[in-house]
Amino acid sequence: MDQQKIGKFIANERKEKGLTQAALAEKLGITDRAVSKWETGKSLPDASLMLELSEILGISVNELLTGERIKVDDYKKIAEENLLEMKKKEEINNKKLLHFYIIINILGFLSLGAFIGIAVLADISWLLRSIIIGLAIMVFGITTACCFKIDHDAGYYMCPNCDHRYVPSMALITFAPHMGFTKYMKCPKCQKKGWHKKVLSK
C-alpha cells in the first residue's frame, strides 16, 4: 500500500468536498493532526475509521486503500489485491504477537524457577520464604494471563474437520487442553471435537 499516494488522494478528495482538515477531523471525531498525518503519508487511517472516512469523501474503501478512483472493470482485481495485502499485514502482526507470547512465557517460567530456587535454597526465615513464593506465584500468574490474552487476540483457530476459522472464548483459551498453539476444542460450526491449530489469518 502506497501511503504517500493514499495521503494525496485523501487531500484531493477532501478539497473537492470543500472540507478543511479541521472540518474533516471533526466529522470523524479525531484531531486535525491525525488528518494531516494521513495526507502527508506518515500514517494510514485506522481500519475502524476507513468506512466512515470513505463515506464522507464519497469514495469506496477500496479506492481509499488504492489511493485513486477505480474504473469498474478493474474493481474486482484491485479489491482482491487490497484484501490480500490487508491479510498479509494481519499475518505479520499476529506472528509478532505470537513471538512475544513465547518470550513472555519463557520469562514467566524462568522467574518462577528463580524465585522458588531462592526460596528453597537461601538461608532465610519462613516469613521471607513465604513472601518470595507468593511473589513467584503472582509474577507467574501475570505472565500467564498476558499469554492467554495474546493467544485470544492473535490469529484464529482452525477446525481440522470443516476448516472453519474462529476466535475461541477466553474460557476455552484458558482451560482447553493444549500442545503449543494447538488446542483440543469443539468446533462452533460442525460441533466436532478435535485438535484445532492456530492460524494467522481468516
Q: How far is the CB of 107 from Zn ion (least distance, A)?
A: 35
Cβ neighbors of 63 (< 8 A, separation 6 or more) are 9, 54, 69, 70
Q: How far is the CB of 159 from Zn ion (least distance, A)?
A: 3
* 93 part of the interface to Zn ion, by CB under 5 A: no
Q: How far is the CB of 83 from Zn ion (least distance, A)?
A: 24
Which of the residues 149 through 178 are near Zn ion (CB under 5 A)?
159, 161-162, 164
Q: Which is nearer to Zn ion, 129 or 165 (CB)?
A: 165
Cβ neighbors of 96 (< 8 A, separation 6 or more) are none
Q: Which is nearer to Zn ion, 75 or 166 (CB)?
A: 166
Q: Which amino acid is at 178?
A: H
Strand partners, 178: 183
Buried/exposed 4-34: b ≥16 CB within 10 Å, e otherwise: eebbbbbbebbeeeebebeebbeeeebeeeb
Q: How far is the CB of 176 from Zn ion (least distance, A)?
A: 15
Q: Which amino acid is at 18?
A: G
Q: Which is nearer to Zn ion, 41 or 194 (CB)?
A: 194
For the chain, the distance separating the N- and C-terminal CA atoms, rounded to the nearest angstrom, is 20
Q: How far is the CB of 182 from Zn ion (least distance, A)?
A: 15
- Residues binding Zn ion: number (CB under 5 A): 7
Which of the residues 179 through 198 are near Zn ion (CB under 5 A)?
187, 189-190
Q: Count of alpha carbons within 13 Å of 74, Cβ hemisphere only?
A: 10
Binding residues for Zn ion, rule: CB under 5 A, are 159, 161-162, 164, 187, 189-190
